[in-house]
């Protein structure tokens, strides 16, 4: 079993990274076109770009088939073949053993679910995976209480499965501990590069970062708190159909705190007025299938803040993506404000704990 703990190093831009955004899209489309043959599909199959983030995701329309397929063209250098195999193995196990519906990979003509495509115009090789489409629609953001309760229950089932799953010998995934999110490894970059972050905001977020580190060390990484997680359970990665919640896009799945999956669920909506109600609904759903201690619940703000800072780093390092561009400097300002409230909340909690301890000493000391 290998854990992906590689520290980021400064490397020159690849030829792909030097292309314009339009040229990058054209190149990824050409990779997808070449990959079709790996599944015995003709180049005439319709390809529609659905999303571009770490990977490029395409809808594949096939003549004579009513159901399309989903093709994922992987970013180079982000995941190894073993890491992708691990992802696909857990997705299959979740559906077969825990009843959690996930996209299932389709083997290519050579029997391998992971195909490798070399391109003629760039000296690179990309992994490509094809998935069966699972039906459903993203939850309606106007009414999220019931979906969040269902999501909490599904998440608990995933965590229960993860604790008991026998990991394959080739297991390899990213680690979303403090170092992987904000520390030395920081898989998504540095939040200090957030768009429009001024010195006052940076100083405040430095305090937040330090407090997060302290509280996470105190919370610990025991097997009931830290294990295999999805790590990106935001609304865009959920599909609902007939009251059932399906989970897609396991690309970021790795080892992390289980409560990080709650933080993932509120990604980009952390400032909603009904956030407390959404959290309560998620917790209520989770506790129908799993257990959360008082100590777990007390650290929910910590994990939401950890995720938000990690997302700020992502927005900074993925400036060319549509999602990052839609957030802009407003996301940085919102992160600073969320950090200010987090510091205030934790100061109040600490003061109340001290008062409680003093009262206990007075009564029983």
- CATH number of the 16-132 domain: 3.30.200.20
Domains 16-132 and 145-361 share a fold: no
CA distance 237 to 39: 25
pLDDT of 358: 45
pLDDT of 1: 54
Residues contacting 241, CB < 8 A, separation 6+:
135, 136, 137
pLDDT of 3: 54
Determine contact, residues 312/331, Cβ cutoff 8 Å: yes
With 0.85 as the threshold, say if the pTM is over it. yes
Map out the domains of the chain as residue ranges: 16-132, 145-361
pLDDT of 122: 78
Report helix, strand or coil for 105: strand
Mind spelling out the 3-state secondary structure of 339-359? HHHHHHHHHHHHHHHHHHHHH
pLDDT of 189: 96
Helix runs in the chain, H state only: 21-35, 81-97, 145-164, 178-181, 199-219, 260-265, 275-286, 294-298, 300-317, 322-364
Q: Which fold has domain 145-361?
A: Aminoglycoside 3'-phosphotransferase; Chain: A, domain 2 (3.90.1200)
- Average pLDDT, 10 consecutive residues per value, the chain (365 residues): 48 74 90 94 86 92 87 94 98 97 97 92 89 93 93 98 98 98 96 98 98 98 98 93 92 98 97 96 98 97 98 93 90 97 86 49 50
Determine contact, residues 151/238, Cβ cutoff 8 Å: yes
CA distance 7 to 187: 8
pLDDT of 10: 46
CA distance 53 to 265: 18
Tell the residue number behind the tokens 């940085």, with chain if given.
332
pLDDT of 347: 85
């Amino acid at each position: 079993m290998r854990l992906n703990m590689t520290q980021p190093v400064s490397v020159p831009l690849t030829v792909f990274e030097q292309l314009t955004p339009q040229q990058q899209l054209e190149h990824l489309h050409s990779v997808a076109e070449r990959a079709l043959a790996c599944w015995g599909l003709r180049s005439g199959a319709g390809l529609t770009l659905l999303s571009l983030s770490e990977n490029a995701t395409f809808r594949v329309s096939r003549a004579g088939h009513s159901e399309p397929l989903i093709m994922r063209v992987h970013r180079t250098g982000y995941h190894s073949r073993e890491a992708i195999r691990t992802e696909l193995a857990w997705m299959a196990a979740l559906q077969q053993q825990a009843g959690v519906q996930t996209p299932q990979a389709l083997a290519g003509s050579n029997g391998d679910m992971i195909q490798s495509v070399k391109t003629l115009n760039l000296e690179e090789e990309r992994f490509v995976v094809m998935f069966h489409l699972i039906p459903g629609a993203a939850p309606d953001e106007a009414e999220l209480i019931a979906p969040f309760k269902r999501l909490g229950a599904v998440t608990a089932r995933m965590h229960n499965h993860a604790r008991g799953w026998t990991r394959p010998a080739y297991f390899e995934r990213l680690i979303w501990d403090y170092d992987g999110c904000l520390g030395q490894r920081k898989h998504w970059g540095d939040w200090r590069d957030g768009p429009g972050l001024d010195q006052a905001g940076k100083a405040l977020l430095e305090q937040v970062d330090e407090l997060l580190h302290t509280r996470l060390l105190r919370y610990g990484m025991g097997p009931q708190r830290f294990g295999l997680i999805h790590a990106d359970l935001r609304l865009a990665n959920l599909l609902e159909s007939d009251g059932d919640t399906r989970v897609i896009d396991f690309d970021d799945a790795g080892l992390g705190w289980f409560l990080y999956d709650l933080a993932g669920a509120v990604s980009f909506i952390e400032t909603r007025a009904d956030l407390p109600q959404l959290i309560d609904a998620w917790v209520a759903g989770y506790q129908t299938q799993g257990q959360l201690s008082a100590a777990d619940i007390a650290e929910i703000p910590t994990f939401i803040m950890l995720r938000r800072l990690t997302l700020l780093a992502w927005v900074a390092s993925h400036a060319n993506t549509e999602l990052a561009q839609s957030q802009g400097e407003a996301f940085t300002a919102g992160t600073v404000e969320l950090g200010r409230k987090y510091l205030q909340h934790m100061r109040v909690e600490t003061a109340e704990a001290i008062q409680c301890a003093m009262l206990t000493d007075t009564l029983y000391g």
